[in-house]
Amino acid sequence: MWRVKPLDAILATAEKKSLHRSLGPFQLTMLGIGAIIGTGIFVLTAEAAQKAGPGMILAFIIAGFVCAVAALCYAEMAAMVPVSGSAYTYSYAVMGELLAWMVGWALILEYAVAAGAVSVGWSGYVVGLIENAFAIDIPDMLVRGPFDGGMVNLPAMGIALLVTALLVIGTRESATVNAFLVAIKVAALMLFIVLAVPVIKMENFEPFMPLGFAGVSAAAASIFFAYVGFDAVSTAAEETKNPQRNMPIGLIGSLGVCTIFYILVASGVIGTVGAQPVLDASGAGLRPGSPELSAACASLADSKVVCSKEALAWTLRSIGWPQIGNLIGLAAGLALPSVILMMMFGQTRIFFVMSRDGLLPPVLSKVHPKFKTPHVITIITGVFVALFAAFFPVGILADISNSGTLFAFAMVAIAVLVLRRTDPGRKRPFKTPAVAIVAPLAAVGCIYLFVSLPSETQLMFVGWALIGLVVYFSYGYRKSHVAHGSPETHELDTDAPPVPVPPMPGTDR
């Protein structure tokens, strides 16, 4: 179970690719901004406010810093091992099959649950748009899950199943369409900042940390979801001019710009409508997405942003811009389905690579005879995403997704250190600066955010990991191609079946 896939075998196919090095620091920074800014800031602002109050500003800074040091480690591996499979492949080459399996298993959790979270976020904005634009009231029982004061979230389930059908048929989301949707999201956030920041009232920032630093840490662990996507920059290393200089600029630059963006948006929410959490009788904060919070919100005379499922649109309506608030809802409704599509695509890619390595049954990499897409894996993924979206609130799903992501990033940081010692002579187009400091910081930062997640989320992750170990030792350990002396690696653009979406680096959230 500690057998490794030889790095030379992994790189053999990658070396066949001849990508032109054309990306400079500005292009990398723009690529990162487009990939990072997305669902998280639209849907998790209310969650962060309920956990940290105005202190969510500090939570954005903490999460951004952890992402920055993790990104520098990720970039070294992505530049050295530019193949499909992401952190799963890196771990297979460095730390052995068992840890690689666990990373891949965690990435499955990340992508599928994240797609469910985005579906729920999309539902909140679209339902709010319909209710406000047409002056109707849709019953909460049909648009919220049982944890959130309802019965089933039908819109979220519907969008997840629709995206699944599109992926099975074989839709193509062009780079032009993707760029247009990114522009819609960025324009919506800029419009929000322009309208909200000038009318900020400083008294709304007090008390700054109503639930203490523990609340800020919990918010940072959730808001981490809003940053993931920086690997879009990391995986572009092989197309970058002078990567040793330009990669850090692109990574730190895009994360820095997005952090400023997020702080301005958070400040706009806090300063205009306030962001104090709803407390129980003992003065403790109620958990976001819980029936208790839903009941408390329903009893309030004046609604709060922490009770909203569409925080940014709700804020603009509250300060006298109802039509602009509806436009924000429309922007989210248009742009977020593409994010669901990319996340579900990422999920199927991880499944496909693991199946092709023999760690999962070959039926999962079966290709549809007509549509030429991996339909079995896509349908399985889509059903689970729809169920997640139907019955769980966005905050719980984002936290579960973050647990898988944090585990994978911590493993990559450790892998960088291990490979520096075991294979120091390996060609590295990009080297993590001050690796003896940055890599441990990345690993410790990921662990810090993981332990700041709710205990239920940590237990769910442990349960998922245990299921993964059972699957590995009952199937993958015996069926692994490496175990049978076949360590060859295939890359996406050589032998994989045609895929429903062009293999774009990273996913925006």
Per-residue pLDDT of the chain (509 residues; tens, 9 = 90+): 566 666 666 666 455 544 556 778 888 888 788 778 877 888 899 999 999 999 999 999 999 999 999 988 988 887 777 665 567 877 787 778 888 899 889 888 888 899 999 999 999 999 999 999 999 999 989 999 998 888 999 999 999 999 999 888 876 566 677 778 888 888 999 999 999 999 999 999 999 999 999 999 999 999 999 888 776 676 666 567 887 788 788 888 888 889 999 999 999 999 999 999 999 888 889 988 888 888 898 888 788 999 999 999 999 999 999 999 999 999 999 888 888 887 888 778 788 778 878 888 888 878 788 887 788 888 999 999 999 999 999 989 999 999 999 998 898 899 899 889 988 888 888 899 999 999 999 999 999 999 999 999 999 999 999 999 999 999 988 888 776 666 554 544 333 434 443 334 444 44
Question: Can you state the angle between helices 56-80 and 394-422, rounded to 10 degrees?
Answer: 40
CA atoms of 454 and 431, how far apart (whole Å): 35
The answer to the question of residue 180 being in a domain is yes
First to last CA, the chain: 34
CA atoms of 41 and 9, how far apart (whole Å): 40
The answer to the question of residue 498 being in a domain is no
Rg value, the chain, Cα: 22
CB-based contacts of 8, cutoff 8 Å, min separation 6? none
Total count of domains within the chain: 1
The answer to the question of residue 88 being in a domain is yes
CA atoms of 356 and 175, how far apart (whole Å): 28
The answer to the question of residue 220 being in a domain is yes
The answer to the question of residue 504 being in a domain is no
The answer to the question of residue 492 being in a domain is no
pTM for the whole structure: 0.86
The answer to the question of residue 488 being in a domain is no
| 210: three-class secondary structure by DSSP | coil
CATH number of residue 138's parent domain: 1.20.1740.10
Residue with tokens 């066949």: 16
Q: Let me know: does 337 contact 171? Beta carbons within 8 Å.
A: no
Residue 441 tokens, joined? 């910081």
Which range marks the domain in which residue 39 is found?
7-479
| HEC sequence for 295-362 | HHHHHCCCCCHHHCCCHHHHHHHHCCCHHHHHHHHHHHHHHHHHHHHHHHHHHHHHHHHHHHCCCCCH
Q: Of 502, 506, 447, which Cα lies nearest the Cα of 173?
A: 502
DSSP 8-state code for residue 476: I
The answer to the question of residue 148 being in a domain is yes
Instruction: Please report, for residues 15, 147, 351, the alpha-carbon distance to residue 494 in angstroms, rounded to integers and kept in the order given.
Output: 12, 45, 18
DSSP 8-state code for residue 286: P
